[in-house]
Structure 1
């Protein structure tokens, strides 16, 4: 495994090949991705969407059919001509696994080649745990999936991990996690998950959500977008020229630790005045509790109770919700000025709660805190993926690595 120049993303390595062969591999990968994205399409649409000639697209589809990666799915009528054959991914030909890793546990999901979830497993609890225990949870979850799906396991493309921190990839493919907000020491990704002969690829969780939304969700088709992950932690996926931005060392998007108020609230990262210290769930609910409010839990229900209280006119709840909207608007407004997105997608469980009834107010707050011209040029949308976003995006990592390498040379036989 090596690193894609300029992105920090891991890719599966290939031996040196001729320019003609490389071009064919690239086009074959392009066709496979078009088929998976479309789920069901035609040879003519593949040619149009990929920019290939009809003959080239047809030949590449034939190769992928022979390899067992795509399949013909029957006919649809055409306008006066012969019926048209539909093409789709051969779902049973491979599986991929994505894991959402947090400080309290793991959610691991298994998908087929069409990115339909076929199984899932959870491990963990309500208490914060150390990296060693998180690794135990992950291996237990993978073992459970293996035991329930032994016949499909040989087709596993790899395991993608969405992690709570900065994930750096060295030139030899070695990956390290730097989770400063959790107080963890640097963690080797392989210490969390080491499966014999199975590629394990990792990225920051917010980038994983962005990947899911870019492939199949509210950011699909966008060339420039911001995808916010709002939960206990706060992160951002930045889409530039249709790709998730990584920066020189994979730390691009650590927006939750951008300082918006110098010297004020303490953040989990140790700094003061970070975005997360105002719009992370712990910060929001702690502020409400300090007003004397009594509520249950620290999650979905509690956040809903806060918003409902604000809608009823409760003064304390209204003040906190107003502050959250304004802080979030300021933080995103700065990113609008910096990146010029065409879309802003709000996800994560806190983000989904806010978007249920406060989307218009949030849009207005972002426009208020950005320059008028770029502020008029974005659309604010709710994320398509809820709690499955990070796991879904993580499962796309092994699939992207297959496509980037060559779908013919790296796949496993079913």
Structure 2
């Protein structure tokens, strides 16, 4: 079958038409992502940054304006010519939701299309949660957001979940969470979150933080990076060639369960000597408690007390801090040799607490455990998103699905 050509042009076969259509859709996706990342840009900048002709960039922007995904935002003066029109994402056209799901609760955040946070809700707080309690807390948080944002809820693109474990897709297409460290059985993601008519996507929490840092944070523009998430556990996102490494079944980056001492401390996963058994929050505070220290809590404040005590000259506290810094340096130093990163980014509440006052020592410890050449080729940063990194990265999953689909309107999941 041949498609009738325009006058004076050769006919295109169906495969050729399909190729042209696919290329146009790909270019629309590239332009939409560029606009969202830039927040404000121009048609000329879109053409230059996306490798398009001026005419193609203008046509694609027109398509996205018609689809209601981007908008014109006034103008800026040019050098002697007409004012230049600014282009940005149309923030009110859609919302996306991201959830940071931990073993002790859920933090759920709603964002507009420009990735401005609109609302947030937290549920949980029990000493130890089960999949059933996590699912109930997530449902309650989503209901609260829906009720408070009833007008915008119909534009929901989808829900992204950052989960504490491996997330794989089984032969039936179901997403399954494997949270070995928590002692949970394999958990279908739909048992945690199943909202009729709404796309739900899930991935490991450390990869979600990495996604946020890669899009808008301290890994932006970086082709090779390590993004560590330190909390009660330890996770990692490996950025290689500008993409987050997933491995054959999405398990790449399970750095928290890399063994750094044979026959060492017992880890919650059941193995011995894992990274998490030395630099996870429970491990750090247990080590301090074993010195005879007395303190309250198991979170941010307790870790701050440890660091403050070490800085005051408490020898026991200083010994614990020295050990944590050295273990973190060894665990990341080996990865410097293995992956050759441009940047190392440390986040999660434990990571941020450590980076507040120990960043220089951590940088030195990583270098000490690396070969000299790669040790001199990376910079160390704290996570740009603080405690919101996982939820922000999770909210990007539905947005990435929109961009990967036909951004002119095909494939939208809600509010289309």
Fold shared per TM-score above 0.5 = yes
Alpha-carbon distance, 1:170 to partner: 3.5
Post-superposition shift, 1:341?
Answer: 0.4
Q: Which residue of 1 aligns with 2:250?
A: 250
Structure 2 counterpart of 1:294: 294
SS state at 1:264 partner? coil
CA distance in 2, matches of 1:29, 1:276: 39
Larger radius of gyration: 2
Q: By how many angstroms is 1:187 displaced?
A: 0.2
C-alpha separation between the residues in 1 aligned to 2:20 and 2:380? Answer: 43
1:129 to partner: Cα distance: 1.4
The answer as to 2:157 corresponding to 1:157 is yes
1:159-213 Cα deviation digits (max 9, x unpaired)? 0000000000246542000000000000000111111111100000000000000
Give the Å deviation of 1:92: 0.5
Aligned to 1:225: 225
**Matching residue of 1:203:** 203
What are the equivalent positions in structure 2 for 1:89-128 lying under 5 Å apart?
89-128=89-128
Return closer, same or farther for 1:339/1:299 CA change in 2, 3 Å cut-off. same
| Partner in structure 2 of residue 356 of structure 1 | 356
- What CA distance in whole angstroms lies between the structure 2 residues aligned with 1:382 and 1:361? 13
Q: What corresponds to 1:21 in structure 2?
A: 21
1:313 paired residue number: 313
Which is further off, 119-128 or 342-351?
119-128
Give how far 1:413 is off.
4.5
Alpha-carbon distance in structure 2 between the residues aligned to 1:49 and 1:304 = 44
SS at match of 1:388: helix
CA distance in 2, matches of 1:304, 1:339: 32
Provide the rounded CA distance (Å) in 1 between the counterparts of 2:306 and 2:43: 52
- Per-residue CA deviations over 1:51-79 (Å, capped at 9, x if unaligned) read 11111111100100011000000010112
| Residue 43 of structure 2: aligned partner | 43
Query: Which SS does the other structure have where 1:358 is aligned?
Result: helix
Q: Which residue of 1 aligns with 2:76?
A: 76
Give the drift of 1:266: 0.4
Which residue in 2 is equivalent to 1:403? Answer: 403
Q: Equivalents in 2 of 1:53, 1:360: separation in Å?
A: 46
- Residue 323 of structure 1 pairs with residue 323 of structure 2: yes
**Secondary structure, aligned partner of 2:360:** helix
The residue aligned with 2:181 is: 181
Query: How many pairs are equivalent?
Result: 399
> How far apart are residue 126 of structure 1 and its match?
3.2
Cα distance between partner residues in 2 of 1:244 and 1:173 = 22
Q: Helix, strand or coil for the counterpart of 1:387?
A: helix
Q: Deviations over 1:247-285 (max 9, x none)?
A: 000000000000000101000101000000000000000
Deviations 1:195-250 (A, max 9, x none): 11111000000000000000000000000000000111100000011011100000
Name the residue aligned to 1:33.
Answer: 33
| Contact 2:146–2:153 (8 Å) recurs in 1 | yes
Summarize the Cα distance change of 1:171–1:342 in structure 2 as closer, same or farther, 3 Å threshold: farther
- Matched-pair contact (CA < 8 Å) for 2:157–2:415: no
Structure-2 residue corresponding to 1:12: none
State TM-score, norm by structure 2: 0.94
- Provide the residue aligned with 2:333 in structure 1: 333
C-alpha contact 2:156 2:415 (8 A) present in aligned 1: no
Q: Distance in 2 between matches of 1:129 and 1:320?
A: 28
Q: What is the rounded CA distance, in whole Å, between the counterparts of 2:415 and 2:156 in structure 1?
A: 10
Which position in structure 1 is the counterpart of 2:55? 55
Q: Unaligned 5+ residue runs, structure 2?
A: 1-16
Shift of residue 141 of structure 1?
Answer: 0.7
In structure 1, the partner of 2:272 is 272
Kept in 1, the 8 Å contact 2:73–2:85? The answer is: yes
Task: Check the 8 A contact 2:96/2:159 in 1, yes or no.
Answer: yes
- C-alpha distance in 2, partners of 1:176/1:124? 22
- For 1:13, the equivalent position in structure 2 comes to none
